[in-house]
């Protein structure tokens, strides 16, 4: 027990009789309690409670105009259901009905008038010790919650760094800067926002998108880095990166990696069914795959790679418009154009 804390705990006394307050303050000071505040006007209790933030309230029950029951009703929402701030009723009325009503309204204990000094000190000391332990437990819980939040933030940061490193691993072989994956992730996020997706889904798509080409780690360099067009056989080998990426990611229990597997598998599907690896069409293609398809397509066209020169922005937009409803979901194209603040195609 912390005697210094209980001696300095703030006690608010509410009694319409000044002589009763004087007597109680005398008893409490002799008992070692030093931080005493009082009022004879129960209408002032709500204001004083807010200003003082007391650790205990000693409340006379029968007062004119505003009685102790009314004060208890005022204090109840201020104290809250889950907090322990003792309210002790001081009364000469020990009828069962008064006790039940006071307890129902939030009183914690009763001290019967006329006061017994030693009983008053013992009861108040016990209740204040209980409040002290409650506050200590609350502080420990808050400290634990802060540590949990800090640890959760660290784990989240570690997860994002791992996702970033995995994406860079896949991109390093044909984009040493690793910026393609990040650019596509940001563009996919913006398109998802433009489509009105929930924030949590937007964040998952942004985090998962950079892994869309992770399956390239299973493609031989002579194919992946080949300048010019693929032969039919080489293209079949290249298309396998979607299946490899899905195989790597799809068994994960983490939502972000499951969506990453979905994107890896479907970001080369086409709205008209002419894509790969499964030839899905229309709404059978997951929305995440449809979003990343256009973000990846635009970024790949407008940036130079070992096997191609960069297209201009205007050339890339013209090709996307030509592929609206063929390669790309028309609704996603319109959202993409909105992100670039271009007129939506009719």
Report the share of the chain in percent with pLDDT over 90.
56
Beta strands in 224-313 (DSSP E): none
Task: Answer yes or no: do 86 and 220 share one domain.
Answer: no
Beta-ladder partners of 328: 324
Question: What's the angle, vertex CA 151, arms to CA 150 and CA 154, rounded to 5?
Answer: 90
**Contact status, residue 113 vs residue 93, Cβ threshold 8 Å:** no
Report the pLDDT value the prediction gives residue 223, as an integer from 0 to 100. 86
Task: Answer yes or no: do 48 and 176 share one domain.
Answer: no
d(CA 266, CA 277): 7
Which band of pLDDT confidence, cut at 50, 70 and 90, is reported for residue 83?
confident
In a domain, 330, yes or no: yes
**Region class of 37: left (phi > 0), else alpha (psi between -120 and 50), else beta:** beta
Question: What's the angle, vertex CA 162, arms to CA 158 and CA 164, rounded to 5?
Answer: 115
Q: What DSSP designation does 210 have? A: G
The residue among 213 and 175 whose pLDDT is bigger is 213
Q: What is the mean pLDDT of residues 7-19?
A: 92
Element (H, E) at 12: strand 11-14
Domains in the chain, number: 2
Task: Answer yes or no: do 272 and 127 share one domain.
Answer: no
Identify which of 185, 270, 259, 181 has the alpha carbon closest to the alpha carbon of residue 217.
181
Report the pLDDT value the prediction gives residue 64, as an integer from 0 to 100. 84
Task: Answer yes or no: do 184 and 322 share one domain.
Answer: yes
Q: Identify whether 114 is preceded by a cis peptide bond (ω within 30 of 0).
A: yes
Q: Does the pLDDT at position 55 exceed 90?
A: yes
- What are the φ and ψ backbone dihedral angles of 148, each rounded to 5 degrees? -65, -45
Q: What is the mean pLDDT of residues 176-181?
A: 68
Number of alpha carbons in the 13 Å side-chain half-sphere of residue 223: 17
Q: What is the mean pLDDT of residues 322-345?
A: 90
Q: Does the pLDDT at position 37 exceed 80?
A: yes
The residue among 21 and 227 whose pLDDT is bigger is 21
Q: Give the predicted TM-score (pTM) of the model.
A: 0.60
Residues sharing a CB contact under 8 Å with residue 2, sequence separation 6 or more, in sequence order: 132
Report the pLDDT value the prediction gives residue 152, as an integer from 0 to 100. 86
Report the pLDDT value the prediction gives residue 66, as an integer from 0 to 100. 86
Domain boundaries, position 50: 3-144
Report the pLDDT value the prediction gives residue 173, as an integer from 0 to 100. 62
- In the predicted model, what is the mean pLDDT of the chain? 89
In a domain, 73, yes or no: yes
Task: Answer yes or no: do 99 and 200 share one domain.
Answer: no
The residue among 162 and 145 whose pLDDT is bigger is 145
d(CA 203, CA 210): 12
Q: Does the pLDDT at position 212 exceed 60?
A: yes
Q: Does the pLDDT at position 333 exceed 90?
A: yes
Residues sharing a CB contact under 8 Å with residue 331, sequence separation 6 or more, in sequence order: 195
Task: Answer yes or no: do 11 and 89 share one domain.
Answer: yes
43's tokens: 């209408």
Report the pLDDT value the prediction gives residue 170, as an integer from 0 to 100. 67
Task: Answer yes or no: do 115 and 193 share one domain.
Answer: no
Q: Token match 């409650």: residue?
A: 134
Task: Answer yes or no: do 194 and 317 share one domain.
Answer: yes
d(CA 310, CA 62): 87
Domain of 30, CATH number, reads: 3.40.50.2300
Q: Does the pLDDT at position 12 exceed 80?
A: yes
In a domain, 158, yes or no: no
d(CA 13, CA 28): 11
In a domain, 163, yes or no: no
Which band of pLDDT confidence, cut at 50, 70 and 90, is reported for residue 174?
low
In a domain, 159, yes or no: no
Helix axes 255-266, 287-302, angle to 10 degrees: 60
User: Which strands make up the sheet holding 87-91, listed edge to edge?
Assistant: 36-39, 11-14, 56-60, 87-91, 109-112
**Contact status, residue 246 vs residue 286, Cβ threshold 8 Å:** no
Task: Answer yes or no: do 177 and 129 share one domain.
Answer: no
The residue among 28 and 307 whose pLDDT is bigger is 28
Identify which of 216, 228, 212, 339 has the alpha carbon closest to the alpha carbon of residue 286.
212
Beta-ladder partners of 87: 57
**Contact status, residue 275 vs residue 268, Cβ threshold 8 Å:** yes
Which band of pLDDT confidence, cut at 50, 70 and 90, is reported for residue 253?
confident
What is the C-alpha radius of gyration for the chain, rounded to an integer number of angstroms? Answer: 35
In a domain, 161, yes or no: no
In a domain, 19, yes or no: yes
Q: What DSSP designation does 243 have? A: H
Q: How far is CA 48 from CA 8, 44, 71, 155, in A?
A: 18, 6, 12, 45
Task: Answer yes or no: do 126 and 270 share one domain.
Answer: no
Check the CA dihedral 178-183-184-185 and report its sign: positive
- Reduce the DSSP state of residue 87 to 3 states and report it: strand
Residue ending a domain, among 144, 163, 184, is 144
Q: What is the mean pLDDT of residues 280-299?
A: 96
Q: What is the mean pLDDT of residues 1-5?
A: 77
């Amino acid at each position: 027990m912390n005697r210094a804390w209980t001696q300095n705990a703030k006690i608010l006394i509410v009694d319409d009789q000044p002589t009763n307050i004087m007597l109680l303050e005398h008893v409490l000071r002799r008992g070692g309690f030093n931080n005493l505040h009082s009022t004879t006007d129960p209408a002032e209790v709500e204001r004083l409670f807010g200003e003082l933030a007391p650790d205990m309230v000693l409340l006379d029950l029968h007062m004119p105009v505003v009685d102790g029951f009314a004060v208890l009703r005022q204090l109840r929402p201020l104290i809250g259901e889950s907090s322990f701030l003792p309210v002790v009723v001081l009364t000469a009325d020990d009828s069962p009905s008064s006790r039940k009503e006071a307890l129902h309204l939030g009183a914690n204990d009763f001290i019967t008038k006329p006061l017994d000094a030693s009983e008053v000190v013992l009861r108040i000391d016990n209740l204040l010790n209980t409040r002290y332990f409650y506050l200590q437990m609350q502080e420990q819980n808050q400290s634990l919650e802060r540590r949990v939040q800090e640890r959760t933030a660290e784990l989240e940061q570690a997860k994002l760094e791992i996702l970033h490193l995995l994406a860079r691993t896949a991109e390093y072989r044909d984009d040493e800067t690793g910026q393609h994956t990040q650019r596509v992730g940001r563009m996919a996020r913006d398109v998802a926002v433009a489509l009105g997706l929930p924030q949590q889904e937007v964040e998952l798509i942004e985090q998962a998108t950079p892994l869309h080409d992770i399956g390239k780690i299973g493609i031989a360099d002579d194919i992946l880095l080949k300048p010019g067009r693929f032969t039919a056989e080489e293209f079949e080998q290249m298309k396998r990166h979607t299946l490899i990426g899905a195989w790597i990611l799809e068994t994960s229990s983490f939502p972000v990696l499951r969506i990453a597997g979905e994107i890896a598998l479907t970001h080369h599907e086409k709205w008209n069914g002419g894509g790969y690896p499964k030839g899905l069409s229309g709404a059978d293609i997951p929305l995440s795959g449809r979003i990343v398809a256009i973000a990846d397509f635009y970024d790949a066209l407008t940036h130079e790679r070992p096997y191609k020169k960069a297209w201009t922005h205007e050339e890339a937009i013209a090709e996307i418009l030509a592929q609206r409803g063929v390669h790309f979901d028309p609704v996603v194209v319109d959202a993409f154009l909105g992100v670039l603040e271009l007129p939506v195609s009719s």
